[in-house]
Amino acid sequence: MQPGRHENRSATALAVMLTSLSRTELTLTENISSGGARVVTRKHWSLNDSLVIKSLEGGLQSEARVAYSQPMGENVHAIGLELIAPMGAWRTEEGRGS
C-alpha cells in the first residue's frame, strides 16, 4: 500500500464514464478499490478537478476528486480518483452475496 492510501487496490480494467460540467469521457480503470481508482484518460484533468465516475459494468456511481495526474505518453494520462460517497458496486456480481 502506498503512503496515504488506506486500502489495497485491485488491478482491474473496468469500463467507466467520467463526467464534469464541461466534458464526458468513456475510458478504463487500471485499478480500483472501494475508495478510489486509477483511470487511463486521453483528456487532461487537473489536480482537484471534480467529476462524476460511473461504472459501466455495475451500479457504482460517485462524485470524485482528481488526486493526481501522471503523463503516460502523448495525449495519455493516468489519474488517481478519490471517491466521495460512492454508491453501488464496481461490477454487478459484487452486489451478489456481499
The 10s digit of each residue's pLDDT in 19-62 is 999 999 999 999 999 999 999 999 999 999 999 999 999 999 99
Residue at 1 is within a domain: no
Q: What is the pLDDT of residue 5?
A: 52
Number of domains in the chain: 1
Domain holding 22, by residue range, is 10-89
Residue at 5 is within a domain: no
pTM (2 d.p.)? 0.85
Residue at 2 is within a domain: no
Name the grid cell of 44.
Answer: 487532461
Q: Which whole-number Å values give the CA distances from 52 to 25, 30, 45, 76, 83, in the listed order?
A: 11, 17, 13, 20, 9
Name the grid cell of 23.
Answer: 466534458
CATH number, position 28:
2.40.10.220
Residue at 98 is within a domain: no
